[in-house]
Amino acid sequence: MLDRLKEFASNFFVTGEPMIYMSDVAIVLVSLAIIFTLTYFKKWKWLWREWITTVDHKRIGIMYLISALLMLFRGGVDALLMRTQLALPNQHFLDAQHYNEIFTTHGTIMILFMAMPFIFALFNIAVPLQLGARDVAFPYLNAISFWMFFFGALLFNLSFVIGGSPDGGWMSYPPLTELPTDPGPGENFYLLGLQISGIGSIATGINFIVTILKMRAPGMKLMKMPLFCWSVLASCIVIIFAFPALTIALLLLMIDRMAGAHFFTMTGGGNPMMYINLFWVWGHPEVYIVILPAFGILSEVVATFSRKKIFGYASMVASLMVISIVSYLVWAHHYFVMGASAGVNSFFGVASMIIGIPTGVKIFNWIFTMFRGRVRMTLPIYWTMAMITCFAFGGMTGIMLAAVPIDYQVHNSYFLIAHFHQTLIGGVVFGLLAGLYYWWPKMFGFKLNERLGKWAFWFFNIGFYVCFMPQYALGFMGMTRRVYTYPADAGWTSMNFTSTIGAYMMGVGFIFMVVQILYSIKYGERDLTGDPWDGRTLEWSVPSPAPEYNFAHIPEVEERDAWWEMKQKGQSLVQLNHQKPFEPIHMPNNSGRPFIMSLFFFIAGFGLVFNWWWMGAVGLLGVAVTMVLRSQERHDSHYIPAEEVQRSEAALGRF
């Protein structure tokens, strides 16, 4: 009995690596610390009532943000481990298996559990406020989305200590990831973790499309909507059409692995190319899903900090929409070298280049928004400038990769690695950080320290170029991606070493960001006006952080940049609150069910990872029960009485 238990434990828990044991200890200690703190300060009830059961878009946004930053840390540590291993030739810091696991989790986490929650954080925080709405269209669904993401990410990350991490690369191409060549539970963690969080992503896409189309303040025609909302609309359209392809790809691969089907094995009449197609039918649009909101953020930041209207609004809208449509027509550029005919490759190559046109237009428009403006050199503008620069050069190498004959040479080389990091870090992360600094005061009611932020900025930026420019060179030297080591005579040592230095500089930049946040929580400049940047859009018309109901009176919009126009006319919230009587506000009730339902999904997923069918059944039954209970729910909303609204507005200095 004891022996069997021992054997089970040694397969169940990941063993044999001192680094893993250290992490185990750290995880246990941190968990204990959290439990102790919550118990000591009697915060369990607070956690449940204020956060876990919340359906408030602002709080959900904050939870997304915290998750994204934690995942940025985990993905970043993965990156540093890889760069440490590659700093010198023939190193044994990590073995082949460990390295393969780490690049798999790095890629998956950064795209799905860092970039996605980061954009969702900003969607949640900014969109309803920009539209003049009191919440998203489906607040309950919004909570489900978050908890599905959370438990999907948790399941995926659990593989680090239980069962073993996936090791098939973040694309997880079969036949490598089929059962015979990849027997462990790691790949199942990948499939189920992504599947569960993917359901949340699709729901978020639907939620924000409906919010944007149906919940705009009176008078806010689509063409008067802030550009960030346009970018969210474009991004969500891509989400709802692209994510189902991933769902299907993961599902079929799961059936292959768990039920012995042959969707993606050649023997038996399947075809691995079907997976690769389905994966990239989602995978390429996915990068536009994360970059489009960054474009929207830049448009807001550039206009606000130049104190000027955005240049070429109609062009900006058109280019967002063109990108969201053309993004579906480019997926096969991920495998020009997989035997497609010259005709097919030409089509996808040219379609990919076409994306460069609307993107180029956006860059011109940002520059001409600054032209004849008054550009304030704050952190959001710093990151904006860094993003435009980096993304322009990333786009340049992107066009090279789209030129099919060049791709025949640089496919899967470090040239590709440098390219997509330049667009995903230089584009997405820089853009999202601009947005984070921009909306931070609205989220938390205080500004982040500029001085520490600039240290973070310079370390991260210089580090970025030191890290990734040498990787272009390594590509030209013939270094392929995903090699865990290389021979000393390859001539790759100096460039790899330089690249590692850059990666550590970025790590220092991240630490500065953390210090900046911690310092600013205590000493940051408080924002009492609600409008610290002299903003243009409606989110700056309400106090920071916004009250539960966002707007005591739903604003009436006449122009683009509604808040700016109101300020030009000398209107203020105080004045508006005096003009009209307060009315009761209809708000959704909090509910613990989204959390519980997602927890059941997690239980089902965990069971399926180990092929424990009973546990999978229990989990899915739990999901079904929570759904039925929800469908029977009759009282899911309440009114905030007019007097309470008035009290609260008065307390916020708005009455």
Partner 1 sequence: MKTWWRKGLFLGALGLLFLTGCSEKYPLLDPQGPVARKEYHMLLLTTILTGIVIVPVVILLFVVAFRYRDRPNSKAAYKPDWHESKWLEIIWWGIPVIIILIIATVTVKETFALQYPPEKKEPITVEVTSLDWKWLFTYPEQGIATVNYMNIPTDRPVKFVLTSDAPINAFWIPSLGGMQYTMPGMAMRLWSQADEPGTYIGKGANFSGKHFAKMSFKVNAQSQEDFDKWVEEIKSTKPALTNEGYAELSKQSVVGESAYSSYPEDLYMNILMKNGGEYMPNHWMMMENQKTAQPTK
Query: Which residues in the 474-513 window bind partner 1 by CB under 8 A?
Result: 475-478, 480-486, 490-491
Q: What minimum distance in Å lies between the beta carbon of 129 and partner 1?
A: 23
DSSP state of 446: B
Among 353, 501, 615, 642, binds partner 1 (CB under 8 A): 353
Q: What minimum distance in Å lies between the beta carbon of 425 and partner 1?
A: 14
- Would you say 244 or 491 has its CB closer to partner 1? 491
Q: What is the rounded CA–CA span in Å between residue 605 and residue 611? A: 10
Residues of span 216-275 touching partner 1 by CB under 8 A: 265-273
- Would you say 30 or 96 has its CB closer to partner 1? 96
Q: For residue 180, what are the CA distances in angstroms to 10, 164, 184, 194?
A: 22, 17, 10, 22
- Would you say 10 or 181 has its CB closer to partner 1? 181
- Would you say 392 or 652 has its CB closer to partner 1? 392
- Would you say 220 or 385 has its CB closer to partner 1? 385
Among 8, 44, 408, 612, binds partner 1 (CB under 8 A): 408
Inter-residue contact 647 to 628 (CB < 8 Å): no
Q: What is the rounded CA–CA span in Å between residue 151 and residue 243? A: 18
Stretch touching partner 1 by CB under 8 A, among 13-21, 105-113, 293-301, 360-368:
360-368
Cβ contacts of 347-353, under 8 Å, gap ≥ 24: 349/402, 349/403, 349/404, 349/407, 350/402, 351/326, 352/398, 352/399, 352/401, 352/402, 353/399, 353/402, 353/403
Task: Please report whether residue 655 would count as binding partner 1 according to CB under 8 A.
Answer: no
Q: What is the rounded CA–CA span in Å between residue 304 and residue 47? A: 35
Among 354, 501, 576, 620, binds partner 1 (CB under 8 A): 354
Q: For residue 78, what are the CA distances in angstroms to 287, 402, 488, 513?
A: 21, 29, 24, 18
Q: Which residues lie below 8 Å from residue 547, measured CB to CB, with a gap of 6+?
A: 648, 649, 652
Residues of span 26-85 touching partner 1 by CB under 8 A: none
Residues of span 443-472 touching partner 1 by CB under 8 A: 458, 461-462, 465-466, 469-470, 472
- Would you say 345 or 591 has its CB closer to partner 1? 345
Q: What minimum distance in Å lies between the beta carbon of 276 and partner 1?
A: 9
Q: What minimum distance in Å lies between the beta carbon of 560 and partner 1?
A: 9
Stretch touching partner 1 by CB under 8 A, among 16-24, 225-233, 323-331, 358-366:
358-366
- Would you say 478 or 592 has its CB closer to partner 1? 478
Among 65, 212, 388, 517, binds partner 1 (CB under 8 A): 388
Q: Quick one: which of 111, 83, 77 has its CA closest to 467? A: 83
DSSP state of 492: -
Q: Phi first, then psi: give them for residue 314, nearest 5 degrees.
A: -60, -40
Q: What minimum distance in Å lies between the beta carbon of 500 and partner 1?
A: 15
Among 44, 364, 613, 639, binds partner 1 (CB under 8 A): 364
Q: What minimum distance in Å lies between the beta carbon of 90 and partner 1?
A: 11
Q: What minimum distance in Å lies between the beta carbon of 574 and partner 1?
A: 25
Tokens 């919010």 — which residue? 211
- Would you say 267 or 632 has its CB closer to partner 1? 267
Decide: helix, strand or coil at residue 587.
Answer: strand
Q: What minimum distance in Å lies between the beta carbon of 337 and partner 1?
A: 5
Q: What is the rounded CA–CA span in Å between residue 581 and residue 599? A: 43
- Would you say 101 or 135 has its CB closer to partner 1? 101
Q: What minimum distance in Å lies between the beta carbon of 439 and partner 1?
A: 21
Q: Quick one: which of 390, 375, 370, 367 has its CA closest to 460? A: 390
Decide: helix, strand or coil at residue 480.
Answer: strand
Q: Prior bond to 175 cis, omega within 30?
A: yes
Decide: helix, strand or coil at residue 9.
Answer: helix
Among 372, 451, 580, 635, binds partner 1 (CB under 8 A): 372
Residues of span 168-227 touching partner 1 by CB under 8 A: 168-169, 173, 175-176, 181
Decide: helix, strand or coil at residue 588.
Answer: strand
- Would you say 205 or 475 has its CB closer to partner 1? 475
- Cα-Cα end-to-end distance for the chain: 71
Q: What is the rounded CA–CA span in Å between residue 275 and residue 278? A: 5
Q: What is the rounded CA–CA span in Å between residue 214 and residue 330? A: 31
| Residue 585, H or E segment | strand 585-588
Q: What minimum distance in Å lies between the beta carbon of 111 and partner 1?
A: 17
- Would you say 104 or 145 has its CB closer to partner 1? 104
Q: What minimum distance in Å lies between the beta carbon of 369 and partner 1?
A: 8
- Would you say 198 or 470 has its CB closer to partner 1? 470
Burial of 271 (0-12, 13-18, 19+ CB in 10 A): middle
Stretch touching partner 1 by CB under 8 A, among 26-34, 246-254, 371-379, 604-612:
371-379
Q: Quick one: which of 327, 186, 208 has its CA closest to 257? A: 186
Q: What is the CA radius of gyration of the chain?
A: 25
Tokens 């507005």 — which residue? 649
Among 6, 43, 214, 376, binds partner 1 (CB under 8 A): 376
- Would you say 44 or 371 has its CB closer to partner 1? 371
> In 10 A of CB 153, how many CB atoms?
27
Binding marks (x or -) toward partner 1, 329..348, rule CB under 8 A? ------x-xxx-xx--xx--
Q: What minimum distance in Å lies between the beta carbon of 372 and partner 1?
A: 4
Q: What minimum distance in Å lies between the beta carbon of 541 and partner 1?
A: 19
Q: What minimum distance in Å lies between the beta carbon of 556 and partner 1?
A: 21
DSSP state of 526: B
Q: What minimum distance in Å lies between the beta carbon of 392 and partner 1?
A: 5
Among 139, 285, 296, 395, binds partner 1 (CB under 8 A): 395
Stretch touching partner 1 by CB under 8 A, among 293-301, 395-403, 517-525, 616-624:
395-403
Among 363, 508, 618, 652, binds partner 1 (CB under 8 A): 363
- Would you say 349 or 594 has its CB closer to partner 1? 349
Residues of span 86-145 touching partner 1 by CB under 8 A: 96-97, 100
How many residues bind to partner 1 according to rule CB under 8 A?
A: 102
Q: What minimum distance in Å lies between the beta carbon of 473 and partner 1?
A: 5
Q: Which residues lie below 8 Å from residue 474, measured CB to CB, with a gap of 6+?
A: 413, 414, 415, 418, 492, 495, 496, 499
